[in-house]
Amino acid sequence: MAGSPQGNPVAPKSRWMAAARARESEREDRLFYDPLAADLAGPEGFAWLDRMETAARPGGPGLYAVIRTRFFDDFLLDACERSGTRQVVLAAAGMDTRAFRLGWPPQTRLFEMDLPEVLEAKDRVIEESGIEERCERHAVAVDLAQKDWPGALLAAGYDAKRPSAWLVEGLLFYLSGADVRGLLEKMDALTVPGSLLGLDLMNRNMLFSPGAWPQLASLARRGARGRFGTNDPETLLARHGWEARVTQPGEEGADFGRWPGPVVPRRLPGLPRSFLVRARRP
C-alpha cells in the first residue's frame, strides 16, 4: 500500500479493473455503465486485462471484476437508501467512479482514499471529461500503510460518530495478515453501531491451488503477489465487531445471469474460492 503507482502493484492494478468495467459498459446486456472506464484504463489497463484473461480459468478476473462491481454497487446504494447512511468511504478507491455513475440519495458524502498519485491521475481524466459528480465527493490522499490515515479522513469531514458505509474492494488479497488486521482495527475506531462494510476476500486455497497458479503467477510477475486468504471470513470480521454475510460469485445475489456453471458449496474443502462480504456493526 505504499509508494508510487510504479512501486505499488495495487495502484496500476486499478487500471485493469477499469478495463473490465469499460468492456462491460460496451455490452447491450451490461450490468452497469461506466463512461470514464476506458479513459481511466488506458492501453496499459486493457493490455493487462488481456494477459490476465489468457492465464485465467473460466469465470476469471474480468468476469469477477464485473460481478463484484455490480454486487457492491447494489450494496452501497442499499446502505444509503434502506439504512439511511449518508457517508460512504471507499478505501483504496483506485479508478472507482461510483461518485459519478450511481444515483446517490441527496446529502450523500463519499470519501475516496488512495495514494496521491492515483487520485491525481484519476482527477485529470475526470476534469477532461467534464462529467459531474452525483454526490458530495471528497478525495483523501493517504497511504493506508501509514498509521495517520484516519486523521486525514477526519480532517476531510468524515464524522466518526455517525453511521457510515465502507467498501474495501480489491485490496486485502495483496496485504499481509498483519496489515489486514491493522486496517480493520483502524476502521473499528472510526465506525459506530449501525455502520456497514463491504469487502472481498479470497480463501487460503486460492494461494496454493494448482488451478489458480497461472493467474497468480501472472499477477506476481507484475508485482501483485497474492498474500492473504481466509477460509472463514465470518470469524475474521467477528473479531473486529462485524456480523458478516458471505456470498460466493455465482450464488444468489451475485450471479446476475452471468456466472458460468454451478457454484460448489463451501462445505466441500480444498477448493479455491472468492468471497463477497456484506457486514454490519450491531
* pLDDT tens for each residue of 167-193: 999 999 999 999 999 999 999 999 999
Residue 221's pLDDT is what?
73
Q: Return the SS3 of 275.
A: strand
Q: Which band of pLDDT confidence, cut at 50, 70 and 90, is reported for residue 141?
A: very high
Residue 176, classed as helix, strand or coil, is coil
Say yes or no to pLDDT of 13 above 60: yes
Q: Where are the domains of the chain?
A: 10-258+268-280
Find out whether 19 and 45 touch, Cβ atoms under 8 Å.
yes
| Bridge partner list, 111 | 89, 138
* Residue 60: predicted pLDDT: 67
| More confident of the two residues 206 and 247 | 247
What was the pLDDT predicted at 7? 43
pTM of the model: 0.92
- Is there a contact between 169 and 199 (Cβ–Cβ < 8 Å)? yes
CA Rg value for the chain: 18
Rounded distance between C-alpha atoms, residue 215 and residue 84, angstroms: 40
Q: What is the pLDDT of residue 56?
A: 57
Average pLDDT estimate for 70-93: 96
Q: Residue 1: is its pLDDT beyond 50?
A: no
Percent of the chain with pLDDT over 70: 93
d(CA 138, CA 68): 23
**What does pLDDT average to over the chain?**
91
- 10-258+268-280 topology per CATH: Rossmann fold (3.40.50)
pLDDT level of residue 217 (50, 70, 90 thresholds) = confident
CA nearest to 193, candidates 243, 158, 232: 243
In this structure, are residues 276 and 200 in contact, taking their beta carbons and an 8 Å threshold?
yes
Comparing 39-43, 57-61, 63-67, 224-228, which segment has the lowest mean pLDDT? 57-61
Q: 180-192 in b/e burial notation, b at 16+ Cβ within 10 A?
A: beebbebbeebbe
